[in-house]
Structure 1
Amino acid sequence: MKINHKILLGSLVLTGGLAFGQTVNYGGLYIMPNTEMATLFSLENKENAMVFNNGTLYVYRDLTNNGLFDFREEGKLKTSGKTIFTSNQRQAIDGNQLIRFNHLEFNNSTAKSAFYVANGISAKGEVDFLDGIVTIDDEKGAFAFLKGAKANDATDESHVDGTIDKVGNEAFTFPIGNKGYYRAAYITAPDKEEVYAGAYKYNDQAFFTAHANASGVINTLNTNEYWYVSKGSKEEKNVILELTWDERTTSPEVLNSPEKDLHIVRWDEVKKIWVDEGGIVDVSARRITTPTSVKGLGYFTLATVKTDWLLEGDVVIYNIVTADGDGVNDYFLIDNIQRFPNNSVQIYNRWGAKVFETKNYDSNGNVFDGYSKGKMTLNDSEKLPSGTYYYVIVYEVEKEGVSRTIKKAGYLHLETN
C-alpha cells in the first residue's frame, strides 16, 4: 500500500506496506503539535514530497528522505516536534536530501551499531541518547547540532561513532566515541558563531605510526586513542579544550602520576610534530583541560611531559580562597612568589573567560581576593560567584646564571557566599 498524504490531522498510525512493507509519502504530511504518528514499516519521503513534524513521530524501521523533511518554527511551533527512533533491529537513516529535526531521541537495543546514518541530518533542539550507537557513514553521512542544540545522556551504550558538527557560539560537549567507548570532548563557548567538528578514534595504530614525532618536552605519548577537533574557518582558535582519560582506553604508561605530568598535546600539521598544549588536571573526575585557548586545532591526545622542564620551582600554591574576611584563605596565597618577581598570574572561569591578571603578584596588594581585576578581564572590579576556577602562574627562575621560565596551572576553588 502506498500512501499519498496531503495533510495529516490528528493521531494516526501508518501500517501500510502490505505489498512492500513500506510507508511512502508522495505529497504533503504535516504532524501537528500534540499529535502522535507511528510508522511500523520503513518510511520513505519521495522526491517533491514534504514532511513537517511539529508533533511526535515514532520511526520503528528505516527512514529514507529524498524530499523535504523539516519542522515549522513560526511562533510557538519552534519548540515542538520530536522524532523518536526506536526498534530492536538496526535502523538506517538515508536518502539524498538533508533532514532537519527539532528534538530527537535514539532508543534501540541492537548491539553495536543500532543506527546507521548515510544522509545529512541536523538537530535544533534536544538530542537524547537513551540506547544504541549512532554510526555515521564516512562518505554519505553527516550529523550537525545546530545553534542551541544539546546532546543529553551519552554513554558507552549510546553515542555517535563518527564526526559531529556543532554550529553556534555555545559551549558544547561532543557526544562521540568509537568501538563501544564513549569518549567525549568539550569546548568552551567561541567568541562568535562557528562550525566546529569533533570525532574520536580508538586503537588506530596506523595513525600513530604516521604521527610519531614529538617535541622535546613530551615524554610518553598516549598512542591508544586520539580526538579530532577542528573548525571550518582558519581564524583565531579561541576555545579551551577539555578531555578525559579512561583506564580502559588510555595508554597506562601516561597514567602513573596524572596530577603531576599529564598534559593535552596537539599534532602540529606544519611542523609535523606533537606539541604541548598544557594541562589542568582534575584527578577525581579523570578530566584534563588546556590552561588557555588552544594554539591550534586538529588532532589531540594525552601525554606525559618532562616536569623538570616546566614545573619545578620553589613556590607553594594554596588553591582555596574563602573571601569572608576571617583572615584565613581570604586571598589566593602563593608562598615564596616574591622570590621570583618576574612573574604573572592569570585566573579563568569555567568557560575560559579571564577574570584576573597581574604581574609581580603580591608585591603591592595585587592579589586575587574573589574580585575580577586586570586588563581585558571579565566584569572588572566585580565580585565573582563561588565555584571552580583555574589558574596559570608563570615565573622566571635564575640558577647558576641561567634563567628558566616555569609554568604552573591547576584548579582553584573560590567561596564568596
Structure 2
Amino acid sequence: MINHKILLCTCFLTGGFAFGQTVNYGGLYIMPNTEMATLFPMENKENATVFNNGTLYVYRDLTNDGLFDFREDGKLKNSGKTIFTSNQQQAIKGSQLIRFNNLELNNATAESAFLLQNDIAAKGEVDFLDGIVTVEEGKASFAFLKGAKANNPTDASHVDGTVDKEGKEAFSFPIGNKGYHRPAYITAPEKDTEVYVGAYKYDDKTFFDERSNAAGVINTLNTTEYWYVDKGSKEEKNVILELTWDERTTSPAVLATPEKDLHIVRWDEDKKIWVDEGGIVDVSARRISTPTTVKGLGYFTLATVKTDWLLEGDVVIYNIVSADGDGVNDYFFIDNINRFPNNSVQIFNRWGAKVFETKNYDSNGNVFDGYSKGKMTFNDSEKLPSGTYYYVLVYEVEKEGVTRTIKKAGYLHLETK
C-alpha cells in the first residue's frame, strides 16, 4: 500500500497572486474525509497524477494533461466528490480524460456556465444544481459510466451537447438546448457493455428543410425540435424510447389532440423518410413512448398520424388480464379479432423484452393467458409476474377491394397472483 503522506509530499503545487494558478507536477492524493479548494485555474501537467477520494472544490478552470481519477479499491469505492462552483464561466479542458466519481455542478453564470473542451466521465452521481454544460462539438464528451446517475437536471442546469451512457440501466439523458431541458429516456439495455448516446436540438430549421419527406401515415411533423439517440455498436437495438412534449418548444400543430394522434417518428437514413415508431401517450405527464423497442436509431421527433389509417372501430381491446381461473378476464381478450384472421399480436415487458408472440390470435385457444410463449420470447412457457406490459396488435382489413394494415398499441395490465 502506498503511503498517503508520501503522495502528498511528492505533489508540487504553485499558487499565489503572482502566478494566479494552481499547477500539479507530481502526485496529488485527496484522502477520504479531507477537503481541498483551488481558487485559481487548476492544471494537472503531463505525467502528473490526481486521485480524488475526498472533496475537491474547483472555483475556476480545470485543465488535465495527465491522470485525473479516483481510487475504487476497498472502502474507497463510493468516495470522492468534485464540486465546480463559481460566479464566472468555468472551462474544463486538456488532452486526457478526466474521471470523476461524484460530481456537483453549481454555477449561476447565464447561458453557458461550464465550457466542456475535454472528455469527462462520471461513475457515481452527477448533481445538476445550477449551470448549463456546453459540450464543444468534436472536442469533448460527457459520459455516464455503469451505474452513474444524473440527478435533477432542469432548464437552468443540463448538458447542451451529446451525452454518452454506458451500462444496462434505464437512463434519462440530461440534455437540452438554448435554455430548455428536453430529456430522452431509454429503458434498460441488455448488456453492461452497451453504450447509447443522446442529444437534443431546438429551432434548427435547416435540419428539417433537408429532411422533409414523410411516410403517408404521418400527418403533421414537429419541425421545431428533434432528439438524437444512437448506439455505439451495430448490434440489435433493444430499448423503448420515451420523449416528452413542451408547449414552449414543441410545434403547436401537433398538440391539438395528443392522446388521439401523437406518435414518435424516426428519420430513416436509408430510405430518406420519416417513419412512424408508434406512441403510447401519458397526457398528464406530457410523455410519449414507443410501444415496442425502436426499429432503428438516429434522429427522432414527434408527429401526428392519420388515425383512420391505423385504427378500426370493429376491434375492441380489453387490457386487463387476471389469470386466476375465475372465468373473468382470464386471458387477453380482443373482441371481434376473429373477423380478421390475418393478424399478429406481440407483448413486451417494461424493459422491452418480448414475452408473447403469435399469429391468427384467438383461434383454437391461441391467446395470451399470462405465460410467455412464441418464437424468441423471454423465458418461454413460464408464468409471467404481475405488472404492466405493452401490446402491439397488427391486422389487415379489406374494404372495397383495398387491403389496409391496422396497428394498435397500448398498455396491458397482468395480474397473476
Same fold per superposition (TM over 0.5): yes
Cα distance, 1:130–1:15 mapped onto 2, change above 3 Å = farther
Cα distance, 1:15–1:157 mapped onto 2, change above 3 Å = farther
Cα distance, 1:209–1:191 mapped onto 2, change above 3 Å = same
How big is each residue's C-alpha offset from its partner over 1:107-158, in whole Å with a ceiling of 9 and x where there is no partner?
Answer: 2222222211111111122222122111111132211112222222112121
Cα distance, 1:353–1:395 mapped onto 2, change above 3 Å = same
Tell me how far 1:6 sits from its aligned partner.
6.3
- Write out aligned runs for 1:271-282 (5 A): 271-282=271-282
Structure 2 match to 1:197: 197
Counterpart Cα distance in 2 of 1:108 and 1:386: 45
**Structure 2 residue identity aligned to 1:155:** T
Tell me, which stretches of 5 or more residues in structure 1 are unaligned?
A: none
**Is 2:239 the counterpart of 1:239?**
yes
Tell me how far 1:93 sits from its aligned partner.
0.9
**Is 2:175 the counterpart of 1:188?**
no
Contact between 1:198 and 1:227, CA under 8 Å: does it hold in 2? yes
**Structure 2 residue identity aligned to 1:181:** Y
**Structure 1 residue identity aligned to 2:384:** L
Structure 1 match to 2:92: 93
Contact between 1:6 and 1:27, CA under 8 Å: does it hold in 2? no
Structure 1 match to 2:412: 412
How big is each residue's C-alpha offset from its partner over 1:69-102, in whole Å with a ceiling of 9 and x where there is no partner?
Answer: 1112223323222111122332211122211111
Counterpart Cα distance in 1 of 2:317 and 2:397: 16
Tell me how far 1:379 sits from its aligned partner.
2.3
Contact between 1:356 and 1:374, CA under 8 Å: does it hold in 2? yes
How big is each residue's C-alpha offset from its partner over 1:228-247, in whole Å with a ceiling of 9 and x where there is no partner?
Answer: 11223333333322111111
TM-score with structure 1 setting the length: 0.91
- Write out aligned runs for 1:98-177 (5 A): 98-177=97-176
Tell me how far 1:374 sits from its aligned partner.
2.8
SS at match of 2:7: coil
Counterpart Cα distance in 1 of 2:196 and 2:154: 21
Tell me how far 1:303 sits from its aligned partner.
0.8
Structure 2 match to 1:220: 220
Tell me how far 1:325 sits from its aligned partner.
4.8
Tell me how far 1:408 sits from its aligned partner.
0.4
SS at match of 2:8: coil
Structure 2 match to 1:55: 54
Cα distance, 1:246–1:229 mapped onto 2, change above 3 Å = same
Contact between 1:313 and 1:397, CA under 8 Å: does it hold in 2? no
- Write out aligned runs for 1:264-275 (5 A): 264-275=264-275
Contact between 1:15 and 1:40, CA under 8 Å: does it hold in 2? no
Tell me how far 1:223 sits from its aligned partner.
0.2
**Structure 2 residue identity aligned to 1:368:** F
**Structure 2 residue identity aligned to 1:357:** E
Counterpart Cα distance in 1 of 2:326 and 2:244: 37
SS at match of 1:8: helix
Contact between 1:50 and 1:69, CA under 8 Å: does it hold in 2? yes
**Structure 2 residue identity aligned to 1:271:** K
Counterpart Cα distance in 2 of 1:141 and 1:317: 49
Contact between 2:115 and 2:134, CA under 8 Å: does it hold in 1? yes
Counterpart Cα distance in 2 of 1:268 and 1:167: 25
Tell me how far 1:227 sits from its aligned partner.
0.5
Counterpart Cα distance in 1 of 2:284 and 2:387: 16
Counterpart Cα distance in 2 of 1:262 and 1:22: 54
SS at match of 1:18: coil
Contact between 1:203 and 1:225, CA under 8 Å: does it hold in 2? yes
Counterpart Cα distance in 2 of 1:34 and 1:379: 47
Contact between 1:277 and 1:294, CA under 8 Å: does it hold in 2? yes
Structure 2 match to 1:83: 82
Cα distance, 1:261–1:365 mapped onto 2, change above 3 Å = same
Structure 2 match to 1:26: 25
**Structure 2 residue identity aligned to 1:164:** V
Contact between 1:332 and 1:367, CA under 8 Å: does it hold in 2? yes
**Structure 2 residue identity aligned to 1:244:** T
Contact between 2:14 and 2:24, CA under 8 Å: does it hold in 1? no
- Range with greater deviation from structure 2 (234-243 or 200-209): 234-243
**Structure 2 residue identity aligned to 1:43:** M
**Is 2:34 the counterpart of 1:35?**
yes
Contact between 1:170 and 1:189, CA under 8 Å: does it hold in 2? yes
Tell me how far 1:313 sits from its aligned partner.
4.2
Counterpart Cα distance in 1 of 2:372 and 2:300: 32
Contact between 1:6 and 1:29, CA under 8 Å: does it hold in 2? no
Tell me how far 1:367 sits from its aligned partner.
2.9
- Range with greater deviation from structure 2 (396-405 or 49-58): 396-405
Counterpart Cα distance in 2 of 1:45 and 1:337: 68
* Identity rate, percent: 84
Structure 2 match to 1:383: 383
How big is each residue's C-alpha offset from its partner over 1:247-276, in whole Å with a ceiling of 9 and x where there is no partner?
Answer: 111111111122222111111222222122
Alignment length (residue pairs): 409
**Structure 1 residue identity aligned to 2:353:** A
Contact between 2:238 and 2:352, CA under 8 Å: does it hold in 1? no
Counterpart Cα distance in 1 of 2:325 and 2:69: 57
- Write out aligned runs for 1:201-350 (5 A): 201-350=201-350
Tell me how far 1:300 sits from its aligned partner.
0.9
Counterpart Cα distance in 1 of 2:316 and 2:213: 34
TM-score with structure 2 setting the length: 0.91
- Range with greater deviation from structure 2 (174-183 or 362-371): 362-371
SS at match of 2:267: strand
- Range with greater deviation from structure 2 (181-190 or 375-384): 375-384
Contact between 2:175 and 2:200, CA under 8 Å: does it hold in 1? yes
Tell me how far 1:392 sits from its aligned partner.
0.2
**Structure 2 residue identity aligned to 1:35:** T
SS at match of 2:407: strand
How big is each residue's C-alpha offset from its partner over 1:258-296, in whole Å with a ceiling of 9 and x where there is no partner?
Answer: 222211111122222212222222222222222222222
Structure 2 match to 1:69: 68
Tell me how far 1:164 sits from its aligned partner.
0.9
**Is 2:404 the counterpart of 1:374?**
no
Contact between 1:241 and 1:290, CA under 8 Å: does it hold in 2? yes
Tell me how far 1:327 sits from its aligned partner.
4.4
Tell me how far 1:352 sits from its aligned partner.
0.4
